[in-house]
Amino acid sequence: MLHVSDLTKRFGGIIAVNGVSLEIRKGEIVGLIGPNGSGKTTLINLIAGFYKADSGRIIFEGVDITKKTADERVKLGIARTFQIPRVIGNMTAWQNVTYAVIGSRRFKEKKMTLTEASMEALYYLDIVGLLRKRDVLCRDLPIYELRLVELARALALNPKFIMVDEVMAGLNPVEADNVARLVQRLREEFKLTTMWVEHVLRIIMRSVERVVVMNEGKIIADGEPREVAKDVGVIKAYMGEEVVI
């Protein structure tokens, strides 16, 4: 489904992503882990079209999207959430989901009206359980609910491939558990191919089928969660710090 080959991104002298090649198959749920500054979020930004790659190619469903802009990639079915929730604070939760429906591909294809789009937005808000908070301005929502808005907003794009960036950061264990289960459920319900970025493996150990470990812009391990966890010693030596448990 997604095929990344030899992707490189430099910021000044720093090579944030260094020749990364990655293959994600349809229907898979892949965990992407690594310490701070290992290039996980940069990789997401490259795939989402936020940054332009210095070299390498990104192919999504047979289409070369390396040169496409972020909004064109969205129309092809790539969605993401942000590590620090980036919702429009001056809009309500409902409005925040509505513009995603407007930006999605089917809005144009089905010639939807604004009313239809907002009704659909309600549907997605209901799925994540935020229907009652629809008219609250997002700047007044706590972080847990912002994460839910982000998920609803990504879903509203009707994506085939979704990248979830540290969706559990800053949440208490109960909330984190809820979000984790929600991501799982959404993946099954909407048949999403998922890439789940997390700081530590433990959290997503049970949820993902495959784990990719990044460090200093490179992929250093790729395999089943159990195997990767076994390699802890190796990885520790690699990274020189205890990040993957």
Partner 1 sequence: MVIKIEERRGRIIIHLLNKSRFEWTIEPRYWRNPLIVVILWILLPLIMAYYVPLGIVGIGSTTLLSSLILANVIALSAIAHSLQTIGTGRVNFGPQFFLVVGGYVAALLNKNYGLGSELTFLASFAITALVGLALSPLTVISRGLYFTLITLVLPLILGELIFWRGDIFGAETGIPGITRLAHTGDPMNDLLICFYLSLAMVLILTVIVDKILRSRWGFMLGVINEDEDVASSFGIDTKKIKVVTFTFTSGIMGLSGWFIAHYYGAFAGTMWLEPWVLIFILLSSVLGGKAAIYGAPLGAYFIVLSRDILRSYIGGGYSLLLLYIVLLIALYLLPEGLWGLYRKTRYREYVPVIRIRRKL
Residues 206-235 that bind partner 1 (CB under 8 A): none
Is 122 a residue that touches partner 1 (CB under 8 A)?
no
Is 157 a residue that touches partner 1 (CB under 8 A)?
yes
Is 59 a residue that touches partner 1 (CB under 8 A)?
no
Using CB under 8 A, pick the residue from 9, 40, 147, 153 that binds partner 1: 153
Is 194 a residue that touches partner 1 (CB under 8 A)?
no
Of 185, 244, 204, 226, residue with least CA distance to 31: 204
Listed in sequence order, the residues at least 6 apart from 235 whose beta carbon sits closer than 8 Å to its beta carbon are 213, 215, 220, 221, 228, 244
Is 149 a residue that touches partner 1 (CB under 8 A)?
no
| SS3 (DSSP) at 219 | strand
Is 146 a residue that touches partner 1 (CB under 8 A)?
no
28, two tokens: 């898979």
Burial of 79 (0-12, 13-18, 19+ CB in 10 A): buried
The nearer residue to partner 1, 114 or 143, going by C-beta atoms, is 114
Is 68 a residue that touches partner 1 (CB under 8 A)?
no
Of 226, 185, 186, 234, residue with least CA distance to 205: 226
Nearest distance from C-beta of residue 202 to partner 1, angstroms = 29
76, two tokens: 């092809």
Using CB under 8 A, pick the residue from 38, 42, 92, 193 that binds partner 1: 92
Is 109 a residue that touches partner 1 (CB under 8 A)?
no
Using CB under 8 A, pick the residue from 1, 15, 48, 200 that binds partner 1: 48
The nearer residue to partner 1, 74 or 208, going by C-beta atoms, is 74
Is 74 a residue that touches partner 1 (CB under 8 A)?
yes
The nearer residue to partner 1, 72 or 224, going by C-beta atoms, is 72
Using CB under 8 A, pick the residue from 30, 35, 66, 80 that binds partner 1: 80
Using CB under 8 A, pick the residue from 89, 191, 202, 242 that binds partner 1: 89
Rounded to whole angstroms, the Cα distance separating 64 from 204 reads 30
**Exposed e or buried b per residue across 126-137, where buried means at least 16 C-beta atoms within 10 angstroms of its C-beta:** ebbebeebbeee
Please tell me the count of residues contacting partner 1 according to CB under 8 A.
33
Residues 174-193 that bind partner 1 (CB under 8 A): none
150, two tokens: 């982000």
49, two tokens: 């079209």
Task: Extract the runs of DSSP E, i.e. beta strands, from the chain.
Answer: 2-11, 14-24, 29-33, 55-60, 63-64, 78-80, 161-165, 193-198, 210-215, 218-223
Binding site for partner 1 (CB under 8 A): 48-50, 69-71, 74-75, 80, 86-92, 94-95, 98-100, 102-105, 107, 114, 117, 135-137, 153, 157
